[in-house]
Structure 1
């Protein structure tokens, strides 16, 4: 796993392994810093990209169906579709890795 908790990413409530709603982590993929945030009661992560030079984040999309064998990336930023498609495998792999970590104690 190469993710890191996004402790200083913003001031929103953070979740925990026991309550992943609002849980955030960051990963650097393809030279860009991405933030993943758990979606309340859903098997997906919302993804935003850091825009450090503008001191803001921008929506990239979501990794969906994390509770299946076929998770997928849905991109909502039209100008980022080509970049996201080139890095989709890594973006999804990071989300799956964290999802497995979060859901380990939730089964059974």
Structure 2
């Protein structure tokens, strides 16, 4: 899996505080859709939004929770996207775990 840093700041934070995670965003294309993973300070989860090119905006998809455990999971908040998200849940969760581990490694050093 690969992800792309798309945060609103010029470079990745070097300090390892929860405040550094606020506003940190990553993107991935899964199932033909561009998803954005936004870190939530003090929580082991990512908020997931989805690009809606035809509307030129993003919309909520849900969250990947329990990233600090062996059983992370996808929670979908967009009723019209449940079927698509269920079909791609494994890849969405795997991408979130990959990003989470990358952040965790950065915070250890």
Question: How does the TM-score come out when normalised to structure 2?
Answer: 0.86
Cross-structure match for 1:40: 41
Q: How does 1:1-108 map to 2 (within 5 A)?
A: 1-7=1-7, 16=13, 18=16, 19-107=20-108
Unaligned ranges ≥5, structure 2? none
Runs of 4+ in 1 over 4 A off after TM superposition: none
Task: Name the CA distance, whole Å, in 1 between partners of 2:62 and 2:12.
Answer: 20
RMSD: 2.2
Say whether the 8 Å CA contact 1:34–1:48 is kept in structure 2. yes
Matched pairs, number = 105
Task: Name the CA distance, whole Å, in 2 between partners of 1:79 and 1:92.
Answer: 19
Any idea what SS the aligned residue of 2:38 has? strand
Any idea what SS the aligned residue of 1:69 has? coil
**Larger % of helix: which?**
2
> Alpha-carbon deviation of 1:22?
1.9
Unaligned ranges ≥5, structure 1? none
Task: Name the CA distance, whole Å, in 1 between partners of 2:39 and 2:73.
Answer: 15
Question: How does the TM-score come out when normalised to structure 1?
Answer: 0.87
